[in-house]
Structure 1
Amino acid sequence: MPKIAYNEKGFKQDSLDLIDEINEIVDDFTNQGYTLTLRQVYYQLVSRDFIRNNEKSYNRIKYLVNDGRLAGLIDWEAIVDRTRTLRKFPSWDTPEDLLRAAANQYKVDMWENQPAHVEVWVEKDALIDIVANACEVYDVPHFSCRGYTSQSEMWQAAQRFRSAEEQGRGIVVIHLGDHDPSGIDMSRDIEDRLNMFGADVVFKRIALNWDQILEYTPPPNPTKLTDSRSSDYVRKFGHECWELDALSPNVIAGLITDEIEEYIDWPQWKDQKAREDYEKKALSQIVYEYSIKSTGGGERRTCRCYQCEREFQYTDSDILFFEKYELNCLVCPECKELTEVIDADVARKELENEYGVDF
């Protein structure tokens, strides 16, 4: 990944040491398949006791990452801003590329015959990629609430859930949010409004919960007393609160995966996966046939008939029929027998090895 210098920067040794730690954290999670946000990097530094957990430290890391990138010391692709992304419409170089992309991306609804309709909702947009990675494995819809969910989206969700209910499926909403006055209240708000709109939902808040705070000891923040919900929160949990971002991405993904698996009917799942594999293979065959036809039959090759030992030419299009039945053979135009397709040079080599003579 690119480390590109655009400006010369002078760093004190303690800043260089901190940049080394940032790179180590980034590399560690990159190797696990995660790209961190700036705030996640910050919390990793806090949890490893490299910095204090306060606004001054966060601002220091923010400016240090910025300067470190400009100086070519931190990878430009290593830390992501998930709230600002370019949206581009897809395009392809050839019709074959489009067909191949469609075949590769083809998926059936793995939950079509499952007893439950499951969705994962997360409070913060900054964590949506981590949630998406966990959900992709099991084809689960996921959604970033971005704080309190809008009335429009809540109503749309209720209609979606009611439709699934009419098909005889139970509805499960898995929710993740901060452990602070508003984050706790958001879970209540989601459940209440979905019920108001007529959706019968099993609501599961799987993070961030008190037992996880005790287990993983994420760094705390002071509770915002300006939050109108703070008095009840302080009475129950004290003057500290915790952000979901402070948990390791692996922990968040593991919590999601464990909860999703509770609702899977595995025999149905395997049947649906077998159907997907079969249909995907059929699409790949269509792409292959199109590719051969669009290139005039493909490259011409020479092979030797094992029956009459004569050589003849064939193209990729000649063996399409046989490949459908997983046969690697052709009808010899001379003796009319089925013969294995093998390049002439390879055939000669095999005969030389077998009989010890030159052909």
Structure 2
Amino acid sequence: MGRQAKTVERLRAAIEALSEHNPMTVRQVYYQLVSRQVIENTRTQYQAVSNLLVDARKTGEIPWTWIEDRLRRPRTVGMWSDLSAFAETARRSYRRDVWATQPQYVEVWLEKDALSGIFEDVLSPYGVTLNVGRGFDGWDSIRNAAARYNAAARYNGRKRRTTVLYFGDFDPSGEDMVRSLRERLYFFNISPKVIKCALTKDDIERYQLPPDFAKKTDTRAAKFIARHGDVSVELDALPASVLRDRLTTEVEKRLDLNAIAKVREREAVEIKRLVALLSAA
């Protein structure tokens, strides 16, 4: 049985979005279709997209590797046949600390685990830590962050500032998370500069992202609506290319890129030595 015209259009848009960036989670693909105004933002539409992506992978129209499930992952134990086989892992894994020569310490905080793949790909070359909150972070996560920032501020006996770049939804909770993060870190006598980089009201207008209504059950809704109006948009709706560019720009303008390049040069020399030692064993 052939697909209906609406289903064909959804599949075409999904393949287009995934061709621009993959892998994505089902949730990411769904919000990309919402932002492109292919579907409405409803639970029924989400399930329809989920079913369509399953069918398209079964028929080979969408590669299995283009869709990922970041929650259901096997916890495997790393093993190697011998030291020479481990040498390749060592080559890929060894990273020299870039923060010893940086004027400030930078971290990125992300509200949505579904987007962490995009963020990890962008941040890895810079050695920037990604903290995924999945909403409001628990106190243990906040305490651990405070310890990291305290150590970073006194790295090698010199003081330097810490900047946290925050990416989250534009809704009552998403807008309040920056305040919450600042206040809870201050409980541990840590006061980094916290900047919300996305999603902003300007992003919604600039990229014409389709809004939803703010959740009235959220205790922060009344204050949010009074300030911004009855509008709510998830970070997932922002085009992946825009999100990558925003993240890259915000990180790079706070780092000494020349210092990182010098660290990478020394790192390459050390990797060759390490691989030679392991391969000869």
How big is the shift at 1:72? 4.5
The residue that corresponds to 1:201 in the other structure is 192
**1:221 aligned counterpart, secondary structure:** coil
- Tell me which of 78, 81, 84 is aligned to 1:93: 81
- Tell me which of 73, 92, 107 is aligned to 1:104: 92
Distance 1:15 1:133, change over 3 A: same
The residue that corresponds to 1:232 in the other structure is 223
- Tell me which of 20, 31, 37 is aligned to 2:12: 20
Return 16-25 or 186-195, whichever deviates more. 16-25
Structure 1, unpaired ranges of 5+? 1-8, 291-359
Q: 1 CA distance for matches of 2:17 and 2:191?
A: 42
How big is each residue's C-alpha offset from its partner over 1:32-87, in whole Å with a ceiling of 9 and x where there is no partner?
Answer: xx311112212222233322233332222122223333454433222112122222
Distance 1:73 1:100, change over 3 A: closer
- What are the within-5 Å matches in structure 2 for residues 113-132 of structure 1? 113-132=101-120
- What are the within-5 Å matches in structure 2 for residues 28-177 of structure 1? 28-29=20-21, 34-167=22-155, 168-177=159-168
Q: 1 CA distance for matches of 2:238 and 2:197?
A: 13
How big is the shift at 1:137? 1.8
The structure richer in helix per residue is 2
**1:199 aligned counterpart, secondary structure:** coil
The residue that corresponds to 1:275 in the other structure is 266
Q: 2 CA distance for matches of 1:202 and 1:23?
A: 39
What amino acid sits opposite 2:55 in the alignment? D
What amino acid sits opposite 1:273 in the alignment? R
How big is each residue's C-alpha offset from its partner over 1:90-124, in whole Å with a ceiling of 9 and x where there is no partner?
Answer: 11122211123213321101112212111111001
CA RMSD, aligned part only? Answer: 1.9
Distance 1:270 1:66, change over 3 A: closer
Q: 2 CA distance for matches of 1:219 and 1:105?
A: 41
Q: 2 CA distance for matches of 1:266 and 1:14?
A: 47
Q: 2 CA distance for matches of 1:203 and 1:43?
A: 26
Aligned partners of 1:176 and 1:206 also within 8 Å: yes
Q: 2 CA distance for matches of 1:27 and 1:88?
A: 30
How big is the shift at 1:256? 1.5
What amino acid sits opposite 1:231 in the alignment? A
The residue that corresponds to 2:250 in the other structure is 259
How big is each residue's C-alpha offset from its partner over 1:162-193, in whole Å with a ceiling of 9 and x where there is no partner?
Answer: 12222312111111100000111111101111
Aligned partners of 2:215 and 2:221 also within 8 Å: yes
How big is the shift at 1:10? 6.0
Q: 1 CA distance for matches of 2:259 and 2:57?
A: 49
Q: 2 CA distance for matches of 1:196 and 1:276?
A: 38
Aligned partners of 1:116 and 1:263 also within 8 Å: yes
User: How many residues are matched?
Assistant: 278
How big is the shift at 1:13? 4.5
- What are the within-5 Å matches in structure 2 for residues 295-310 of structure 1? none
Give the fraction of aligned pairs with identical amino acids, expressed as a percent: 33
Q: 1 CA distance for matches of 2:228 and 2:160?
A: 37
Distance 1:20 1:194, change over 3 A: same
Q: 2 CA distance for matches of 1:48 and 1:210?
A: 17
The residue that corresponds to 2:235 in the other structure is 244
